[in-house]
Structure 1
């Protein structure tokens, strides 16, 4: 994978594809933009996430490296941008080996749409950009993960981990399975300046002792925490952890589980 900047200034993650594969990915963009709108245009519009030019991350076996160490196979892509760093894994495509990590140290946020599979293979323990199968790290702006695809860590680490380090919200809208063999299923964190955490999942599995299925902890002084689990939760410890830590925090916590725990 390599990072490029489109004409509208949006930082993108792009996997080199044969011509036919690239065209197939581009043809699907209109439906993906429609999905983004359905997932919450209000949360994304302020960061410019509705702009065109989202790139594809197609079949690739990643190495535990940060771009441009081993393009196009680097697990970790990092940028400092006022526009979001974005990646799409299309249905039927797989990012395997050491999974995927995106970092934006600017205020533009991070966007990932996953309709395929993102996985850390058994025996792997990635560290570049974090240890989860999918690591998203921002320093402000909206961070969004959405899609029907699966996130599976069969190695060492969590399934999905999202860290918001600045002013902005985190939105997770996952319908696919999230699995961690040794770690936690979903981990989300923010800071005092952040503006809210909203996490919706399908089935989440994290069966190792002491590991939680969904662990959402906020340090925001104003933001809400909303967790909705639409699938079964199987965990070695708690099915759901949801917390706001500042004593003076004014946000609310809402947890809904629609499956078995």
Structure 2
């Protein structure tokens, strides 16, 4: 019962975090286009995973989540670390006018996350679940309010789930990184206190090894101060910010 489940095999952060934790453990990597996971499979094998399995995963097919997670448990004999790292940034300008695209972002980045987190909390007896919130959800901005709103909803869900799990052998780590410089944000100008996928993965890995209870993890830690300031900015000024 020491397996790792990575939901979102194409995620920079998810791949890095899995590589940091996988030595001597079986890993199940799930993603859309699982046939394209060769690089992450090689990386995990090189990092010492005892076995790496891949499965197809379509986040928007909510009814498939229960069976997918049950299959991952069957393959490993038990999951003790679940990394929920799938998601899309989407196109804010398109989402402002395209109802279907806005709903796609909301479905993948919020509804599907709620679905898998609920199943994991029921199926896992002990260990840790890692979910990824974002500073983008702290206060919605006109430049990315569709994506930001999904992170706000996810963060609220995770705070409640953390309280539900408190005192049990299963904990939830909710990572709240700043702007992540990676494949999802390629071509975008980094924001203040930006972080890289490996920095996020390193912080979460430390928390897994050192922590004892459910927690919310700001990455970097000083981002907490920026978040506090963001809440104080008057609305008329806030709505004029370009980012």
TM-score by length of 2: 0.35
Question: More helix by proportion, 1 or 2?
Answer: 2
TM-score by length of 1: 0.33
Question: More strand by proportion, 1 or 2?
Answer: 1
